[in-house]
Chains A and B, each alone.
Chain A
Amino acid sequence: MALIPGLIKGLGVTGSTMMRTIFPGGVKKPIPSPVKGAETVQYPHEKEAPPTRARGVIALHEENCTACMLCARECPDWCIYIEGHKEKAPPRRAGGKPRQRNILDRFDIDYALCMFCGICVEVCPFEALFWSPEYEFSEPRIADLLHDMSRLSEWMETVPDFEDYEAGSQQKKLKVPPT
């Protein structure tokens, strides 16, 4: 009957997958260890490392930010809140004019609204924002997803160095400022 071959082949596929999962060592090392053979990751116990570029959470390098508001303006859903004031800083050389300095008072990103598009990081002209691949920042209360300046600065520690580029690229490799 023509019914047999396809059905049996199908059973073969699932059956061999089962054997591969139970015995990841193959025929040579038939020791059952499905934990190794399965493709899934037992999340809270073991974690996958996201790639360097993964857009996990935004880190703020406070010293670089001039409160220019570009990021807040370009954000598609306006979830960055920035407040700043101007301050007279002592002149660089003795006898010079006192300099204008922007002091950042408030820099919040509401991750409940953020859609992780990366526009803010891209438009920042002073390299004050960086992506960190860190992803474990869920909260039981939605209001706690609003990260303030100090929390955003803490993420700086998790920002990895930029990767090298593939051969043939003419991109310049950027540097992450030391924290």
Chain B
Amino acid sequence: MTAVSSRRQLNYIAAQAADARVNLEIETEGMTLNIGPQHPATHGTLRIVAKLDGEQVIAADPVMGYMHRGYEKLSEVRTYPQVTTLINRIDWLGSFANEVPFILAAEQLMEVEAPPRSQWIRTVLFEMSRIANIVLFLGDMAVQVGAVTPVFFAFRDREHILNQIEAATGGRFHPNFDRIGGLKDDLPKGWIVETKQVMKKMRSFCNEIEELVMGNEIFQARTRGIGVVPADIGLSYGLSGANIRGSGVDWDVRRDGTTGAGGLVHNELDWRVWTHPDGDSFSRFWVRLQEVRESTRMVDQLLDGLPSGPIMAKVPRIIKVPAGEAYVETENPLGVMGYYVVSKGGLAPFRVKIRSASFNNMSITPWLLTGVYVPDIITILGSLYFILGDIDR
């Protein structure tokens, strides 16, 4: 078990001890339930070994690594432009957002700055991939607690976003559009108008989800007070993104970022960071729903204020990054994602360390799942929102 001792755990142990005395005659035996690696709730190949007493969890351990693809190692033998196609596949639902911190780190090392127009478009696509990602969460969370229809709505409306991303970048899921010093191409004609319409659709989707899922009393009964993460414990486990904002911590790298704040232009927009004081599954859902709304507003503002100009800075055709190291983190859909890039001056990075949000978000599960019931495991996992590629890389 983990070192963090909480009152809840101590209470639980005391209760177990009391039970044990009662149970001396009626001897009961625990059961170990393997949730995963192939299980509908883990959307991928995560395995959770849960020791059960009846339907109550005594201990839960996440087993990760079933989908490890070695991107950190692969990055060492790929040139910088090739790395972006790899890291697209880390968080595959919001893949453009994966490229950004890496490119920013490389830009920092090369000391180039992308021209303003490309920074703005970058931010547009960054926010759009957040919407595409979280929209699916909003539907998926409903499936985890048993409502089937919202996820179809989510897939239906995410399609519009993906179409726009495809129209701009050429790739629906793996845009590979970000370049050191700018972007691969400019926006096609008519894209801005269409995207604004899509943003309207996304807002009406949010209203639909609010009525269909969030306002539903059964949903609230299933998520309120379930999987409560106190702010200090969440921070000590390294939670980030909506998971920590759901615990009332007002921290968003888009606003408060210190490393590599350049390259994205959130500071020039009018937006706010949403937090919820409760720290339970419901508040994480609520924060994400508000974030989608906020992102649609951001995209609208960005498209209105798009500056004109070139989209590529002057960079050599063959990219060699001077020796040095840089760490850049951004607020990705799942939480804080950072790349620590060490260059020895070659065509390929010497070492890339990827800090992906889901891996850290998952690390709280042993603490969080202790003492809950089996159906709540799924709710809590769903509300922590992880993507397998983001855990295993």
A contacts B: CB pair < 8 Å:
yes
Q: Which listed residue, A74, A163, A170, touches B82 by the CB 8 Å rule?
A: A74
> When the two chains form the complex, which single residue of B169, B174, B190, B306 contacts A168, counting CB atoms closer than 8 Å?
B306
**Contacts A166-B192, A168-B306 given; does A117 touch B215 at CB 8 Å:** no
Most chain B CB inside 10 Å of its own CB: which residue of A52, A131, A169: A169
Q: Are B189 and A165 in touch, CB under 8 angstroms?
A: yes
Instruction: Kindly state the separation between the CA atoms of A12 and B163 in the bound complex, as whole angstroms.
Output: 29
Question: In the complex, which of the residues A7, A74, A171 contacts B216, with contact meaning CB atoms closer than 8 Å?
Answer: A7
Give complex CA distance A172, B347 in Å. Answer: 28
> Are A10 and B211 in contact, with the CB atoms below 8 A?
yes
A14 at interface by CB-CB < 8 Å: yes
Contacts A6-B216, A7-B217, A76-B86: A166 and B186 contacting too (C-beta < 8 A)? yes
A31 within 8 A of partner (CB): no
* Bound form: Cα–Cα A39–B170 in Å: 22
Alpha-carbon distance between A164 and B191 when the two chains are bound, in angstroms: 11
Interface of A is mostly: loop
A154 at the interface (CB under 8 A from B): no
Task: Establish whether residues B216 and A122, one from each chain, have CB atoms under 8 Å apart when the complex forms.
Answer: no
Q: CB-CB < 8 A to B168: which residues of A?
A: 53
Checking B82, B153, B215, B311 against A169 with a beta-carbon cut-off of 8 angstroms, the contacting residue is B311
Residue of B nearest to A168 (CB): B308
- Tally inter-chain residue pairs, CB-CB below 8 A: 113
Is A170's CB under 8 angstroms from B309's CB? yes
Q: How many residues of B contact A (CB 8 A)?
A: 46
Contact A9 to B166, CB < 8 A, known contacts A76-B85, A119-B85? no
Q: B88: nearest residue on chain A (CB-CB)? A: A117
B212 touches A116 (CB 8 A): no
Looking across the interface, which residue of chain B has its beta carbon closest to that of A9?
Answer: B211
Contact with B along A150-179 (1 / 0, CB 8 A): 000000000000011111111100000000
Given A7-B218, A10-B212, A163-B189, A168:B117 Cβ within 8 A: yes
| B289 → A minimal CB distance (Å) | 15
Residues of chain A at interface, number, CB under 8 A: 36
Q: Is the CB of B188 within 8 A of A52?
A: yes
Q: Which residue of A lies closest to B89 (CB)?
A: A115
In contact, A117 and B174 (Cβ under 8 angstroms): yes
CA distance A161 to B259 in the complex (A): 41
Query: Is A112 an interface position by the 8 A CB rule?
Result: no
The reply on B40 being an interface residue by CB < 8 A is no
Give, as a whole number of angstroms, the nearest-CB distance from A10 to chain B.
5
Interface flag for B310 (CB, 8 Å): yes
Binding site for B on A (CB under 8 A): 2-3, 5-7, 9-10, 12-14, 17, 39, 50-55, 74, 76, 115-119, 122, 131, 163-171
Spell out B's residues near A (CB within 8 Å).
78-79, 81-82, 85-86, 117, 147, 149, 153, 156, 159, 163, 166-171, 174, 176, 184-192, 208, 211-213, 215-220, 306-311
A-B contact pairs, 27 of them (CB 8 A): A6-B216, A10-B215, A13-B211, A13-B212, A14-B149, A17-B153, A51-B163, A53-B185, A53-B188, A54-B166, A74-B82, A76-B82, A76-B86, A115-B85, A118-B171, A119-B82, A122-B184, A166-B188, A166-B306, A167-B189, A168-B308, A169-B117, A169-B186, A169-B187, A169-B308, A170-B309, A171-B186
